[in-house]
A and B are shown apart, each in its own frame.
Chain A
Amino acid sequence: MTTTLLSLSHPSWRSQLRAAYAIALKDWKTFWRYPLNAVSNVLQPIIWLTPVYFMGQAFSVNGQANGFAAYSGTADYMSFILLGTALSNFIGSVFWGMGYALKNDMDAGVLESVWLTPVPRLLLLVGRTLNSILVTAIESLGMLLVAALLFGFHPTGNVLAAFLTTVPMLLGLYGFGFAFAALVLLMREANTLVDISSFLIQLFSGSNFPVNALPRWMIPVALSIPLTYGFDAVRGWLLKTTTLLPLAWEAVILVVFMFVMLWLGSLVFHAVERSVRRKGTLGQH
């Protein structure tokens, strides 16, 4: 009786949750099947940050990057960049979690059969990110611990406010991810797309530097990306840096971004998904 009620053939919110859990559990098991990857993911950002650390030294006197402080309000450029890197990990995981998962299913030849299950397609996408978000949280914590030992990490502000700021930012990213997954369905190639778009968004939203250091003509691009305000607000709360706008305004922008992106992203995804189903190109890769 219970089985019938929870069955995916009679969709209910409980059966949908069960489906999302099953997807996350499958990804969790697959991920830990290759434990070296977890170690690599902790060390990777450290590797990327090392040249930045030494480059920063080349611009500093007695470890103080005063030029950097004039832009950002803090001479502690490594804490600034480390925080940006941890947030970027989450941006990456939403992109990878959806776009790349679709490509994997295409290559493995299971996308069509997964598509036939009575689970909402957006839930299939969200399910693929649950594990990557959890793993990213674990890895980012590990990365910050290692980086704190190597380079120093000095957050002195309000951790709770910083955390609350990240919630609408991450949810808004799901909207981005839906639209991006639609693009993967169309182009059938994920690696380059994921790499480039994820990198560009991180670049222009100021994951490694204050956006006011960009050339003048690029600043409007940075200011038009809502994530810029997310990075800026989290740093403002945790490192007490100079923010682009008052923190309350940045919070409002992030909440609006969340609703708009979720609506827009799901709209684009449904339109493209319907189109590839009609053309019969869903299983092609």
Chain B
Amino acid sequence: MMTTSYHSSHSLGRSNLRAELRALRAVARREWTIFIRYPSWVFALFLWPMIFPMMYIFTGRALSGPDGSGLAIFTSASGATDFIGYIAVGTTVWMWQNVVLWDVGFALRSEQMRGTLESNWLSPTWRFSYLLGHSGPQLISMALFILVSVIEFGLIFGVRLHGNPLLMLLVVLVSVPSIYGLGFAFASLVITAKEAHTFVFLVRGLVMIFCGITFPISLLPGWMQSVAMWMPQTYMIRAARAAALSNASLGELLPDLAALLGFGVFWMTAGYLLFHWMERRARQTGAIGQY
């Protein structure tokens, strides 16, 4: 009797903070279980950080020429003395955004495809928990991903990070709201647009073209540089390169950090509002179970 009454007080039928936290934990646990169910995550975690930048790094080596004459031209154009580190930082930020778009962006869509979204939607839970709960394990796996990247770049490519570790961590933390806010906004659009791979390709493509993952954006035509200034990833890449490779001080990083915070507030708000719009629309049109 006592046990029953204990459970009742925490029941999801009576929404309170503890019940919501319990639901959030349940979503996070489920996602973690699915994540580790497929052993290929090990390959993704250990191989991608190493092999993705290789394509650009080896292309850079080829462009440098056997005598390294091209590298001198690159150094004078970019100001970077370590071109491998320069590319590694840019591509890591791109990979982070890419994985979040696929994982968080497709969180609700995957539920829809599995046929569980409607039944979950009927539970008396704060629905944003589905996205937040999904992001928890994703954030842990991405933290591991970045750590593995740093170790592998050092061991395999000899990249040495000269900056203050705390400032590097600060850049990563300040980047989180922008990256995940965009993921939340995306998740809501995906559930409406259904076949949304094209949109992921578009967004990650914009990052690839405009944000200077492998080259200084000063090489872009003027209009492309203006577009780059409206994308948070441009600031992430610039701040991360400055913090990790140029030993920049907090004062030097502040303009980029401030911009990132501004973008973070914008994308988190946009993500939340879009989620609510989608939720209302889905209830009105009954489209939530369609795919």
From 176 to 220 in chain A, residues with beta carbon under 8 angstroms from any chain B beta carbon are: 187-189, 191-193, 196, 199-200, 202-203, 208-210, 213-215
B274 CB, min distance to chain A CBs, angstroms = 21
Specify the chain B residue showing the minimal Cβ separation from A34: B195
B181 CB, min distance to chain A CBs, angstroms = 23
> Contacts A54-B220, A187-B39, A196-B47 given: A208-B55 contact, CB under 8 Å?
yes
| B contact residues, total (Cβ < 8 Å) | 45
> Is there an interface contact between A196 and B43, defined as CB atoms closer than 8 Å?
yes
Specify the chain A residue showing the minimal Cβ separation from B63: A59
> Is there an interface contact between A55 and B198, defined as CB atoms closer than 8 Å?
no
> Is there an interface contact between A71 and B60, defined as CB atoms closer than 8 Å?
no
| A contact residues, total (Cβ < 8 Å) | 47
> Is there an interface contact between B41 and A192, defined as CB atoms closer than 8 Å?
yes
Q: Is B239 an interface residue (CB 8 A)?
A: no
Binds B, one of A39-47, A117-125, A166-174, A249-257: A39-47
Binds B, one of A62-70, A132-140, A152-160, A274-282: A62-70
> Is there an interface contact between B73 and A209, defined as CB atoms closer than 8 Å?
no
B82 CB, min distance to chain A CBs, angstroms = 14
Q: Is A57 an interface residue (CB 8 A)?
A: yes
Q: Is A12 an interface residue (CB 8 A)?
A: no
Binds A, one of B118-126, B208-216, B241-249: B208-216
Given the complex, which residues of A lie within 8 Å of B58, measured CB to CB? 203, 208-209, 213-214
| Per-position 1/0 for B20-57, Cβ under 8 A of A | 00000000000000000011110110011001101110
Given the complex, which residues of B lie within 8 Å of A71, measured CB to CB? 62, 65-66
Q: What's the dominant secondary structure at chain B's contact region? A: helix
> Is there an interface contact between A59 and B70, defined as CB atoms closer than 8 Å?
yes
> Is there an interface contact between A193 and B201, defined as CB atoms closer than 8 Å?
no
> Is there an interface contact between A56 and B63, defined as CB atoms closer than 8 Å?
yes
A40 CB contact (under 8 Å) in B60, B70, B198, B209? B198
Given the complex, which residues of B lie within 8 Å of A61, measured CB to CB? 73
B73 CB contact (under 8 Å) in A60, A189, A200? A60
> Is there an interface contact between B62 and A52, defined as CB atoms closer than 8 Å?
no
Specify the chain A residue showing the minimal Cβ separation from B194: A34
Given the complex, which residues of B lie within 8 Å of A231, measured CB to CB? none
> Contacts A59-B70, A189-B38 given: A203-B55 contact, CB under 8 Å?
yes
Specify the chain A residue showing the minimal Cβ separation from B195: A34
> Is there an interface contact between A196 and B48, defined as CB atoms closer than 8 Å?
yes
From 56 to 91 in chain B, residues with beta carbon under 8 angstroms from any chain A beta carbon are: 56, 58-71, 73-74, 77-78
> Is there an interface contact between A59 and B73, defined as CB atoms closer than 8 Å?
yes
Q: Is A149 an interface residue (CB 8 A)?
A: no
CA distance A104 to B78 in the complex (A): 44
> Is there an interface contact between A50 and B209, defined as CB atoms closer than 8 Å?
yes
Q: Is B205 an interface residue (CB 8 A)?
A: yes
| Per-position 1/0 for B103-127, Cβ under 8 A of A | 0000000000000000000000000
CA distance A209 to B220 in the complex (A): 23
> Is there an interface contact between B62 and A57, defined as CB atoms closer than 8 Å?
no
> Is there an interface contact between B69 and A66, defined as CB atoms closer than 8 Å?
yes
B40 CB contact (under 8 Å) in A77, A81, A187, A210? A187
> Is there an interface contact between A55 and B63, defined as CB atoms closer than 8 Å?
yes
Q: What are the nearest 5 A-B pairs in CB distance?
A: A67-B65, A67-B70, A47-B205, A213-B62, A59-B63
Q: List 18 A-B contacts (CB under 8 A).
A: A44-B205, A51-B208, A51-B213, A51-B215, A52-B56, A55-B63, A57-B219, A59-B74, A61-B73, A67-B66, A67-B70, A68-B65, A71-B65, A71-B66, A192-B40, A192-B41, A199-B52, A214-B58
Given contacts A61-B73, A66-B69, 19 further A-B contacts (CB under 8 A): A40-B202, A43-B201, A47-B201, A47-B205, A47-B208, A50-B208, A54-B220, A55-B56, A58-B73, A66-B65, A67-B68, A68-B70, A71-B62, A187-B39, A188-B38, A208-B58, A208-B59, A209-B62, A214-B61
